[in-house]
């Protein structure tokens, strides 16, 4: 439980830094591209948060030996999903850095591609989650949903 509280506090910190970055864009001023060092810091923080979320979820589920055999597939799917999301974020930051202003058509294309990739990532997580979820007892299944919500990116609609 303590790990979950620490992870939650870390999420709030990450969300606030993301909010600050997005606030410039929403204010009508030109978005300020983060430096390479800031991008690396953001990526490092996200990696630490992901590690803590995964550890917290695994500890929270209290998997037995048989159930633990299904854990690596889920962890891999979640890590791949996070990497894909980060790659899309990095591409957006690169566009800002290069001062590229996509046309409305390009912007819609980027959004459609993002949605397609997000849907494919979600399918991977679902497919990897199914065997683990099927092996859980009722109490673990009750905890599974709230623990999985940790992996929903904050601030995205």
Percent of the chain topping pLDDT 70: 75
Average pLDDT of the chain, as a whole number: 80
Any alpha helices (H) in the chain, and if so which ranges? Answer: 2-26, 36-61, 65-68, 71-97, 104-135, 138-148
pLDDT for residue 20 = 47
The pTM of the full predicted model, rounded to 2 decimals, is 0.70
Q: At residue 73, does pLDDT exceed 90?
A: yes
Work out the widest C-alpha separation in the chain, in whole angstroms: 55
pLDDT (tens digit per residue) in 100-134: 788 899 989 989 999 999 999 999 999 999 999 99
pLDDT, mean of residues 73-98: 88
* Spatial distance between the Cα atoms of 52 and 135, rounded to a whole number of angstroms: 23
- What DSSP assignment string belongs to 26-69? HTTSPPPPPPHHHHHHHHHHHHHHHHHHHHHHHHHHT--HHHHT
């Amino acid at each position: 439980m303590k790990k979950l509280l620490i992870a939650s506090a870390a999420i709030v910190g990450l969300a606030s830094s993301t909010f600050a970055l997005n606030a410039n864009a929403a204010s009508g001023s030109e978005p300020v591209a983060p430096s390479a060092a800031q991008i690396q810091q953001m990526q490092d923080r996200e990696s630490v948060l992901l590690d803590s979320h995964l550890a917290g979820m695994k500890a929270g589920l209290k998997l037995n030996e048989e159930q633990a055999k299904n854990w690596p597939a889920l962890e891999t799917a979640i890590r791949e999903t996070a990497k894909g999301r980060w790659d899309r974020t990095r591409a957006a930051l690169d566009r800002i850095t290069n001062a590229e202003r996509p046309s409305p058509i390009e912007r819609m294309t980027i959004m459609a591609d993002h949605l397609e990739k997000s849907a494919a990532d979600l399918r991977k997580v679902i497919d990897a989650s199914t065997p683990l979820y099927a092996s859980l007892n009722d109490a673990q299944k009750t905890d599974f949903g709230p623990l999985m919500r940790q992996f929903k990116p904050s601030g995205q609609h």
